[in-house]
């Protein structure tokens, strides 16, 4: 089936390229700049003679392709500037470059001073695979662009979440990974993408080379197959440019932090047929945690080639090497956070977590005649990580004594992806269609290394602890009361498990514009996943075992309706479902079917005061009616089951909530954005053995809120070049620990306190130089991110950073 599927799409590709070869059409393109040479986005460009138009991108570029030969009048207009016109003569197969420089109109500026930029409901999401205006999409989305990333001096992905409603940090396991969730469900590696390709989030992504971060909330199974229900995020890196430029920057801050970065771009030739971009950075820092440090190197080269007038080839590389101290936090005693200083580190001084990630992505885009486009992408990712250090702090006694063990693990993963998408627009009578037809296939090959984790005592003479995981004994309240060991034991490899997974899918989606006021989005995907037979090589016993393979498939439909009573208001409702592949077997030793998750969403998107203010509200409900859990009894129905691998589809988890977003375009130098979300994720059906009906799922705050205010002094002010901002971020109370149940009545939940973070920022720009200052957690608030009860990591205290940059 997989071979047949891809033969079909490749034939489709070749056929359409061949048909398109006879097209004889021209193009008008160019760039919109301010009077001082800065790019301007969201400028309207239209042709007077025909009903064709577009808007400029964030780089100021615009394109009007597929034009018949003729004479055209280009009209450029934008709020607050003079409208410009220019006449051009276009011949067949000709590409005309026409740039414009905007001139401010003082009379219009006196009425409304608006900085160039797009509003919240004007930013399309590339992760959607087809260009749909946010107002036409029956789904909540959020895009955090480069201007916000620079203004907030974003260092890691969790900084971005402070501006995205309903998406939050679940935990920071070991200090080397940020666990992100939305609407009650985790954004694992299946839900994390970079440039449209899945990205292993076991290592924290590097943000210096990021152009924007996109969030598609809710159900996305039709586009990506096996994804969790809460949503997906897509990291979009900086792309090549055909003009020469770049930036050199240096950031420093609290706890011996420093980070030089370089960003260079330009064209290879005078005809601008090929361009490049290279981002690279090095970071080294200490921590507010004693003996904890980190070091990372990152480089992101990319190359763009225009193959003729209608075809583009983009090649992107991505390399990250991250080495840091694993830190599982302050510990807990009987499911209560230990009262030790925020800075106290309980691990070993020599511990390490070494991660390396390599990615190569090739994207070929071909413009077909009459608004059709074919896009193919192939990607490869190699990821490996090795952890060696103190075991997670479990079993600490009331007096603080802890028999400290060790842990060592290594994972190596190869990931391959191929996908092909055909997008187009056409009409059937008066009804217009925007269609997406695509297919994808990906493959994982994961090797997990387990190590012998006992016999750590120095001479092995004490028979009582010879086979226990005891490295030494410490007291977390009084570190000086015991002598800590500093030697690094040798741990032999115990076994290697190799797990191959192959997935494929085919999907079709259509946005049907019944009228200017009513639009329907409908689609369906078929997904197939084959967990191939896994091998388990036992090194000590020189033997190989096997884990049987199994397959799952599912259909994922999507249906949404959008009603726009006026152009500035969009009301929508949608239904989608997704599926979760389940591990284990049922009582008859058969593989479990996937759990189907139903998702409902309604909302409204509004642009008020001529688009200066956007207000969006969304309500949702997500129901997993077949939540997999350990089976109560064996096949006879009476014998209790004690094997956690024998499972059943029983019970129910429900997530429901509301999200509110408010954002403005910059007005008189001010810009404002705010958001609030309420989420309730609970077990709504169960038998009490594994969980109890009404219990909240752990790590999910019921309330989150954010607000940010930014001001930039105008050119006519004595303080021109200065800007300042404040951001407030609130996370409500959460639960960690472990849910008690009939199966585990001694488990307990840990209540984590809510917290509010206040961040201040300021900047100054003069000519090509800029200086940005930032202070985070101004009030030095203390709270924790906790995984179970064994990675209790305090949030960072008050910190200061400064960044100086020079644009080339």
What pLDDT is stored for residue 80 in this prediction? 57
3-state secondary structure at position 108: helix
SS3 390: strand
Question: Alpha-carbon distance 326 to 337, whole Å?
Answer: 19
pLDDT in tens, 165-217: 999 999 999 999 999 999 999 998 889 999 999 999 999 999 999 999 999 99
**Residue 117 counted as domain residue:** no
226: left (phi over 0), alpha (psi -120 to 50) or beta: beta
In a domain, residue 617? The reply is: yes
Q: Are residues 232 and 255 in the same domain?
A: no
Does 465 lie in the same domain as 603? Answer: yes
Please report the pLDDT score of residue 50 as a whole number.
83
Residues 393 and 531 in one domain: yes
* Residue 735 shares a structural domain with residue 618: yes
Chain Cα centroid distance, residue 63: 29
Q: Which residue has the higher pLDDT, 370 or 526?
A: 526
Across 758-770, average pLDDT: 93
Q: Mark which of 170, 204, 237 sits at the end of a domain.
A: 237
Is residue 584 very low, low, confident or very high in pLDDT (cuts 50, 70, 90)?
confident
pTM for the whole structure: 0.85
Distance CA 648, CA 56 (A): 54
- Phi/psi at 5 (nearest 5 deg)? -60, -45
Q: Is position 116 within any domain?
A: no
What pLDDT does residue 688 have? 63
Show the domain range for 135: 127-237
| Stated length of the chain | 808
pLDDT at residue 263 in the model = 97
What lies within 8 Å, CB to CB, of 249 at 6+ separation is 260, 261, 262, 263, 803, 804, 805, 806
Q: Which whole number is the average pLDDT over 699-717?
A: 90
Quick one: three-class SS letters along 113-167? CECCCCCHHHCCCHHHCCCCCHHHCCCCEEEECHHHHHHCCCCCHHHHHCCCCCE
Domain identity same for 657 and 720? yes
pLDDT in tens, 503-559: 999 999 999 999 999 999 999 999 999 989 889 888 877 778 887 888 888 899 999
pLDDT of 643 higher than 80: no
**Phi, psi angles (nearest 5°) of residue 407:** -140, 145
**pLDDT of res. 660:** 98
Whether residue 396 sits in one domain with residue 419? yes
- Tell me how far apart the alpha carbons of residues 466 and 116 are, in angstroms, rounded to a whole number: 69
Look at residue 255 and tell me if it is in a domain.
yes
Mean pLDDT in the chain? Answer: 87
* Whether the Cβ atoms of residue 692 and residue 683 lie closer than 8 Å to each other: yes
Tokens describing residue 630: 């350990």
| pLDDT tens per residue, range 3-15 | 544 444 444 444 4
**Residue 487 sits in the same domain as residue 515:** yes
Q: Domains in the chain: how many in total?
A: 3
Structure tokens at 326: 């694993």
- CATH number of the domain at 617, please: 2.40.170.20
Query: What integer is the mean pLDDT of 797-803?
Result: 97
109-114 long-range contacts, Cβ below 8 Å, gap at least 24?
Answer: 109/80, 112/79, 112/80, 112/612, 112/667, 113/80, 113/667, 113/668, 113/669, 113/714, 114/79, 114/80, 114/612, 114/665, 114/666, 114/667
Question: For tokens 């995020």, what's the residue?
Answer: 233
Cα angle value 630/633/638 (rounded, 5°): 170
Residues 464 and 598 in one domain: yes
Confirm whether 120 is domain-assigned.
Answer: no
Mark whether 709 and 601 lie in a shared domain. Answer: yes
Spatial neighbors of 553 by CB under 8 A, at least 6 apart, are: 526, 527, 528, 529
pLDDT of residue 379: 97
Cα separations in angstroms, 606 against 40, 135, 609, 614? 24, 8, 10, 6
Claim to verify: residue 97 and residue 131 sit in the same structural domain: no
Kindly state the tokens that stand for 729.
Answer: 């971020």
pLDDT of residue 454: 62
With a cut of 90, say whether residue 433 has pLDDT above it.
yes
Are residue 9 and residue 143 in the same domain, yes or no?
no
CATH number at residue 52: 2.60.40.1120
- Name which of 230-244, 617-631, 650-664 the model is least confident about: 617-631
How confident is the model at residue 400, as a pLDDT? 94
The stretch 347-361 carries a mean pLDDT of 96
Which CATH number belongs to the domain containing residue 154 in this structure? 2.170.130.10
Domain termination residue (choose one: 202, 237, 272): 237
Is the pLDDT at 806 greater than 50, yes or no? Answer: yes
Sheet holding 179-182, edge to edge: 167-171, 179-182, 185-186
Residue-level pLDDT at 705:
98
Average pLDDT over residues 113-125: 67
Distance CA 597, CA 787 (A): 25
Q: Of 192, 219, 237, which one is at a domain's C-terminal end?
A: 237
pLDDT band at 21 (very low <50, low <70, confident <90, very high): very low
Structure tokens at 174: 């070991």
Q: Mean pLDDT, to the nearest integer, of 659-679?
A: 93
Q: How confident is the model at residue 23 (pLDDT cuts 50, 70, 90)?
A: very low
Same domain, 543 and 399: yes
**CA–CA distance, 485 with 159 (Å, rounded to integer):** 37
Q: In this structure, are residues 264 and 246 in contact, taking their beta carbons and an 8 Å threshold? A: yes
pLDDT exceeding 70 applies to what percent of the chain? 91
Q: Is residue 121 part of a domain?
A: no
pLDDT digits (tens, 9 = 90+) for 301-329: 999 999 988 899 999 999 999 999 999 99
Rounded to an integer, what distance in angstroms lies between the CA atom of residue 433 and that of residue 597? 28
Domain assignment of residue 270, yes or no: yes
Residue 18, CA atoms < 13 Å, CB-side half-sphere: 6
């Amino acid at each position: 089936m997989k071979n047949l599927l891809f033969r079909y799409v490749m034939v489709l590709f070749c056929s359409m390229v061949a048909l398109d070869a006879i097209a004889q059409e021209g193009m008008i393109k160019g760039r919109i700049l301010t009077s001082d040479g800065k790019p301007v986005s969201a400028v309207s460009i239209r042709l007077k003679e025909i009903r064709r138009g577009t808007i400029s991108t964030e780089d100021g570029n615009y394109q009007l392709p597929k034009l018949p030969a003729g004479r055209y009048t280009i009209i450029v207009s934008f709020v607050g500037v003079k409208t410009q016109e220019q006449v051009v003569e276009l011949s067949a197969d000709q590409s005309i470059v026409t740039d414009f420089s905007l001139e401010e109109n003082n009379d219009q500026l006196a009425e409304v001073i608006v900085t160039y930029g797009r509003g919240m409901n004007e930013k399309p999401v590339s992760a959607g695979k087809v260009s749909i205006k946010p107002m036409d999409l029956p789904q909540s989305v959020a895009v955090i662009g480069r201007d916000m990333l620079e203004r907030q001096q974003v260092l890691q992905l969790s900084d971005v979440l402070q501006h995205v409603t309903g998406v939050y940090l679940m935990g920071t396991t070991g200090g080397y990974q940020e666990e992100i969730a939305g609407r009650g469900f985790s954004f694992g590696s299946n839900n994390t993408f970079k440039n449209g390709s899945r990205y292993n989030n076991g290592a924290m992504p590097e943000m210096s080379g990021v152009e924007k971060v996109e969030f598609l909330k809710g159900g996305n199974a039709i586009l990506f197959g096996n994804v969790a229900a809460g949503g997906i995020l897509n990291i979009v890196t900086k792309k090549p440019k055909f003009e020469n430029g770049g930036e050199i920057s240096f950031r420093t801050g609290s706890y011996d932090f420093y980070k030089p970065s370089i960003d260079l771009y330009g064209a290879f030739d005078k005809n601008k047929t090929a361009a490049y971009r290279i981002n690279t950075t090095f970071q080294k820092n200490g921590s507010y945690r004693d003996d904890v440090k980190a070091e990372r190197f990152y480089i992101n080269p990319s190359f763009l080639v225009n193959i003729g007038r209608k075809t583009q080839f983009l090649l992107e590389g991505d390399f990250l090497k991250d080495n840091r101290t694993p830190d599982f936090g302050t510990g807990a005693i009987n499911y209560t956070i230990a009262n030790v200083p925020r800075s106290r580190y309980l691990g070993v001084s020599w511990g390490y977590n070494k991660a390396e990630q390599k990615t190569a992505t090739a994207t070929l885009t071909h413009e077909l005649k009459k608004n059709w486009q074919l896009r193919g992408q192939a990607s490869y990712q190699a990821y490996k990580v090795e952890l060696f250090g103190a075991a997670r702090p479990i079993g600490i006694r009331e007096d603080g004594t802890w028999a400290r063990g060790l842990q060592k693990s290594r994972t190596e993963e190869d990931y391959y992806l191929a996908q092909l998408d055909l997008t187009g627009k056409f009409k059937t009578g008066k009804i217009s269609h925007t269609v997406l037809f695509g297919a994808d296939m990906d493959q994982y090959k994961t090797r997990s290394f387990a190590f012998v984790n006992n016999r750590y005592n120095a001479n092995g003479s004490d028979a009582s602890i010879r086979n226990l995981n005891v490295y030494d004994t410490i007291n977390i309240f009084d570190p000086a009361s015991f002598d800590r060991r500093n030697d690094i034991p040798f741990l032999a490899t115990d076994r290697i498990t190799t797990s191959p997974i192959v997935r494929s899918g085919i999907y079709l989606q259509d946005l049907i514009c019944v009228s200017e006021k009513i639009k329907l989005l409908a689609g369906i995907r078929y997904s197939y996943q084959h967990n191939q037979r896994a091998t388990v090589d036992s090194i000590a016993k020189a033997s190989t075992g096997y884990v049987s393979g199994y397959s799952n498939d599912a259909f994922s439909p999507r249906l949404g309706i959008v009603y726009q009573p006026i152009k500035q208001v969009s009301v929508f409702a949608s239904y989608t479902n997704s599926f979760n592949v389940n591990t284990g077997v049922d009582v008859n030793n058969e593989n479990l079917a996937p759990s189907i998750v139903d998702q409902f969403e309604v909302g409204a998107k509004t642009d008020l005061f001529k688009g200066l203010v956007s207000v969006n509200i969304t309500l949702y409900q997500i129901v997993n009616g077949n939540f997999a859990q350990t089976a109560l009894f064996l096949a006879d129905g009476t014998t209790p089951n004690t094997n956690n691998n024998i499972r059943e589809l029983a019970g129910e988890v429900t997530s429901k909530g509301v999200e509110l977003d408010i954002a403005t375009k910059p007005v008189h130098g001010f810009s404002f954005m705010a958001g609030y979300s309420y989420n309730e994720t609970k077990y709504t059906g169960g038998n009490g053995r594994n969980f109890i009906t009404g219990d909240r799922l752990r790590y999910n705050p019921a309330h989150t809120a954010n607000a940010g205010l930014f001001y930039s002094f105008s050119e006519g002010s004595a303080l021109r070049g200065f800007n300042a901002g404040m951001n407030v971020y609130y996370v409500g109370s959460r639960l960690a620990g472990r849910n008690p149940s009939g199966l585990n009545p001694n488990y307990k939940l840990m209540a984590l306190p809510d917290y509010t973070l206040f961040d201040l920022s300021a900047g100054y720009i003069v000519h090509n130089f800029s200086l940005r200052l930032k202070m985070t957690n101004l009030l030095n608030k203390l709270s924790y991110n906790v995984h179970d009860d064994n990675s209790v990591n305090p949030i960072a205290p008050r910190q200061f950073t400064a960044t100086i940059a020079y644009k080339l």
